[in-house]
Chain A
Amino acid sequence: MNDKQTSVAGFRRRLGHAGDVVHDRWQQAPGWQRWAVYLLLIVAALLLPSETIGSFMSPDTDWATILFFPIGTYVLLAIGLNVVVGQAGLLDLGFVAFYAVGGYAMALLGTRMGWNFWVIMVAGILICALSGLTLGAPTLRLRGDYLAIVTLGFGEIIRITARNTDEIGGPNGIRGIPHPPSIEGIYIGDVEIFKYGVLDPRPYYYLLVALAVVVIILVKRWEKSRVGRAWAAIREDEDAAEVMGVPTFRFKMLAFAIGASIGGAMGVLWAAKSISINPNDFQFLLSATILAAVVMGGAGNLPGVMLGAFIVAWLPERFRGLQEYRMLIFGAVLVALMIFRPEGLLPSRQRKAELKEGSGGMGTLGAEVPGPESHGEEVASK
């Protein structure tokens, strides 16, 4: 038993070490090399919806379709939630609410006012930022776990209110949502990339990739700025940050608003593809799944979070062949991953350091005592 544990721990350490080497290498790489890698990644993302890849990645369902939803959608939502949970350290269990607000903004403004997709995208982002602030103002003074239940409640309130309000379609939701305006006749390969119809999901997927690139650039810039440092300070010790003169409440509100805008932007895009939406599309399970993606991938680390979202969205689709057992396995995998890599698949370095100190950034379990494998380095901290 003990031997096995040590060997597992040893394996984990070696894996972590390999990760560090790659990470160091990346840090020291000259600018042009990094740009080359970024470019390669974007090209890879654009080539992804090919049939050849699809036949392996999802033999039982249409690959290009699931690349947009759930995979791409989850990735973008996870990036948004990562700002709130991973960077500012605020536990949000109702992230789906902002996705819903964005979706409904697209649906209502598109069908009732006849607005153009691009106008609604801007309006939707503003509306979601505003609703993030509205939710944040009364609740962000609450401590971590109270915030969790209040955000969970907010997510449910949004869904149930949509369901119960006949003026916005009630349980039927809204149908006939317009697509983004098409520009016909521009082909790349066999894809007419700016034709937003019903049958071919690939133009939407490319739109999503473009949105993701913009969002990633923005989020990265924030992370490296004063804002990002303030978030890290809040995450690690809110009281200390406050004492050091960081206006914590304002920065927490900012994190909420940014996260909400990203969720909302995805909601707008998703609704524009979906033709119809209804309140059942915004269940709590989606919030939980996105949160699982963020934590599993490595909260705070963008590539990790995206990997987490990809896995969470893709695994159940890939294993459709296992029929109904796939969710059972998914649950077990989630537990196993947390046991063996509680810091996530690709944790950020800072997070790993925090974990070693035993604070893990989000606070730790209460009654924690040094275990047999900690060798005194993970001391209880309270």
Chain B
Amino acid sequence: MALALGLAACGNGGSETTPADGGSNAAAPGTVKIGFMGDLTGANAGIVIPPRNGAKLAIDQYNKTNPAVKIELVEYDSQADPSKAVALAQQAIKTDKIVGLVGPAFSGESAQVGPVLEEAKLPSISASATNVKLAENGWKYWHRVLPNDGVQGPGIADFIAGGAAAKNVFVIDDKSEYGKPLADAVRAQLATKGVKVTNDSLDPAESDFSSVANKVAAAKPDAIFFGGYYAAGGNLLKQLRDKNVDAKFLSGDGSLDKGLIEGAGADNAEGALIGCPCYIATPDVTDAKVKGFADAYKAAYNADPAIYASEGFDAATVFIEAVKAGKTTPEDINQFISTVDIAGVSKQVKFAPNGEVEAKDIYIYQVKGGAITLLGKAAEAKLG
């Protein structure tokens, strides 16, 4: 179903009837365009489609209220390829004349698209790019609605040493631009806590991780942290359990997907712990706002909200609030974003001058009975 939506949206993109004046001088254009950029059909689409759905949900809800200025969501499928992402960004700026962008989804493409958006003075809010360095470029138009790996890594490390009470930890990364810095942040924080750390890296394109598993088995750790995506994470977890390694398995947001459970097998995955700077609305929430979002999401997409869905919703909501406040040019919207302070689904949304969101909570999730459940905030969570 997601594909059908994607096709329809792409088919409409760029050929809409809005006069191509960018809205800069027009008094009140009938429709403004917001872009969504990310890997919608590639290998990691599993963590990009939920935030896309979240953003689309927010915009659909807004358009149903029959506002003076409607918003149209234009999708750009970068397949996580930075050079494609740049070409699409140029297209978005020159031809489609969008006024804001939700995305790019990943850090790699963000690094290349960021300067383009900066020069075009086009505000962006990413719902999933967590690389620390993105905020260090002095970009004025770039934002993200979740804490970075520099917050996530130490948060998870604190939990490993605290809530999970591990003394001997084996840290593995996947040598990707996401997994490596995250694992490094975990390593650094664990070292300050006096925890013994052993390291190895793997190549996620491979499927035999037995050399990693042998090293882990030899190190006899009581916890394992893997920085990387769920596909490799699931295989790794299975091969570890096959080697009779039964230490606690922890990972970061890239592994927060049911693909981890499927890849490892439900028995092997039971009890695995996954940290994430995201807040997933699980079916048992009580908070009215979150529950409303979860129900609407379920009704629209026939699935429970997954990773970054609420972040995507919040990112789109910021743009919607800007439009509601009568801001329809990129410059005005960016001005609005810098002052925004609203209660989102995932968190209180308020941005620091460098584009980082102010809220810094990391949540820990646990696999129980073949499903991902919320254990609590990393600082407070305890293993039962």
Question: Measuring CB to CB, which residues of chain A are less than 8 angstroms from any residue of chain B?
Answer: 59-62, 64-66, 69-70, 160, 163-164, 170-173, 175-176, 197-199, 201, 274-276, 278, 280-281, 317, 323-324
B320 to chain A, nearest CB (A): 27
Known contacts A60-B14, A172-B180, A176-B137; 19 additional CB pairs below 8 A are: A62-B88, A62-B90, A64-B90, A65-B86, A66-B87, A163-B175, A171-B180, A172-B131, A172-B177, A175-B111, A175-B133, A198-B115, A198-B119, A199-B116, A201-B90, A274-B86, A274-B112, A278-B82, A323-B77
**Contact (Cβ within 8 A) A274 B83:** yes
Bound-complex Cα distance A257 to B179 (A):
37
Residues of A near B112 (CB, < 8 A) are 274-276
**Please, which residue of chain A has its CB at the minimum distance from the CB of B13?**
A60
Bound-complex Cα distance A204 to B90 (A):
15
**Contact (Cβ within 8 A) B177 A173:** yes
As a 0/1 sequence over residues 9 to 33 of chain B, the CB contacts with chain A under 8 angstroms (1 = contact) are 0100010000000000000000000
Does B94 belong to the interface (CB within 8 Å)?
A: yes
**Contact (Cβ within 8 A) A323 B41:** yes
Residues of A near B118 (CB, < 8 A) are 198
**Please, which residue of chain A has its CB at the minimum distance from the CB of B118?**
A198
B3 to chain A, nearest CB (A): 9
Q: How many residue pairs bridge A and B at CB < 8 Å? A: 78
**Contact (Cβ within 8 A) B91 A278:** no
B180 in complex: contacting residue of A59, A65, A66, A170, CB < 8 Å? A170
Report, nearest first, the 4 A-B pairs whose CB atoms are least far apart.
A62-B90, A65-B87, A62-B91, A198-B119
A56 to chain B, nearest CB (A): 14
**Contact (Cβ within 8 A) B95 A280:** no
**Please, which residue of chain B has its CB at the minimum distance from the CB of A170?**
B180
Bound-complex Cα distance A66 to B85 (A):
11
Residues of B near A198 (CB, < 8 A) are 115-116, 118-119
**Please, which residue of chain B has its CB at the minimum distance from the CB of A175?**
B111
Bound-complex Cα distance A163 to B205 (A):
13
As a 0/1 sequence over residues 107 to 118 of chain B, the CB contacts with chain A under 8 angstroms (1 = contact) are 010011001101
**Contact (Cβ within 8 A) B119 A324:** no
A202 to chain B, nearest CB (A): 11
Does B120 belong to the interface (CB within 8 Å)?
A: yes
Does B181 belong to the interface (CB within 8 Å)?
A: yes
Given known contacts A198-B119, A275-B112, A280-B108, is B90 in contact with A65 (CB within 8 Å)?
yes
As a 0/1 sequence over residues 179 to 202 of chain B, the CB contacts with chain A under 8 angstroms (1 = contact) are 111000000000000000000010
Given known contacts A69-B83, A197-B119, A278-B177, is B7 in contact with A62 (CB within 8 Å)?
no
Question: Measuring CB to CB, which residues of chain B are less than 8 angstroms from any residue of chain A?
Answer: 7, 10, 14, 41, 77, 82-84, 86-88, 90-91, 93-95, 108, 111-112, 115-116, 118-120, 131, 133, 137, 175-177, 179-181, 201, 203
Residues of B near A69 (CB, < 8 A) are 83, 87
**Contact (Cβ within 8 A) A324 B88:** no
Residues of A near B90 (CB, < 8 A) are 61-62, 64-65, 199, 201
**Contact (Cβ within 8 A) A164 B175:** yes
Given known contacts A164-B175, A164-B201, is B133 in contact with A172 (CB within 8 Å)?
yes
Most buried by A among B118, B119, B177: B177
**Contact (Cβ within 8 A) B10 A275:** no
Residues of B near A66 (CB, < 8 A) are 87
Bound-complex Cα distance A66 to B90 (A):
10
**Contact (Cβ within 8 A) A61 B88:** yes
B42 to chain A, nearest CB (A): 9
Bound-complex Cα distance A201 to B91 (A):
12
Bound-complex Cα distance A323 to B2 (A):
14
Residues of A near B111 (CB, < 8 A) are 175, 275-276
Given known contacts A61-B88, A62-B94, A172-B180, is B175 in contact with A324 (CB within 8 Å)?
no
**Contact (Cβ within 8 A) B91 A60:** yes
Bound-complex Cα distance A70 to B86 (A):
12
B169 to chain A, nearest CB (A): 20
A70 to chain B, nearest CB (A): 7
Bound-complex Cα distance A302 to B181 (A):
44
**Contact (Cβ within 8 A) A62 B133:** no
Bound-complex Cα distance A59 to B95 (A):
10
**Contact (Cβ within 8 A) B108 A62:** no
A355 to chain B, nearest CB (A): 36
A171 in complex: contacting residue of B119, B133, B177, CB < 8 Å? B177
Bound-complex Cα distance A65 to B203 (A):
32
**Contact (Cβ within 8 A) A281 B82:** yes
Bound-complex Cα distance A32 to B13 (A):
48
Residues of B near A324 (CB, < 8 A) are 41
A318 to chain B, nearest CB (A): 13
Given known contacts A64-B90, A164-B175, A172-B133, is B180 in contact with A323 (CB within 8 Å)?
no
Bound-complex Cα distance A198 to B131 (A):
22
A52 to chain B, nearest CB (A): 13
Bound-complex Cα distance A276 to B179 (A):
18
Bound-complex Cα distance A280 to B88 (A):
19
**Please, which residue of chain B has its CB at the minimum distance from the CB of A316?**
B84
B39 to chain A, nearest CB (A): 12
Bound-complex Cα distance A69 to B112 (A):
14
Given known contacts A164-B175, A164-B201, A278-B108, is B181 in contact with A172 (CB within 8 Å)?
yes
**Please, which residue of chain B has its CB at the minimum distance from the CB of A73?**
B83
Bound-complex Cα distance A171 to B184 (A):
12
A62 in complex: contacting residue of B87, B175, B176, CB < 8 Å? B87
Bound-complex Cα distance A274 to B82 (A):
9
Bound-complex Cα distance A69 to B10 (A):
22
Residues of A near B10 (CB, < 8 A) are 60, 323
**Please, which residue of chain A has its CB at the minimum distance from the CB of B15?**
A59
Bound-complex Cα distance A64 to B86 (A):
11
**Contact (Cβ within 8 A) A61 B91:** yes
Given known contacts A170-B180, A172-B133, A278-B177, is B116 in contact with A61 (CB within 8 Å)?
no
**Contact (Cβ within 8 A) A323 B87:** no
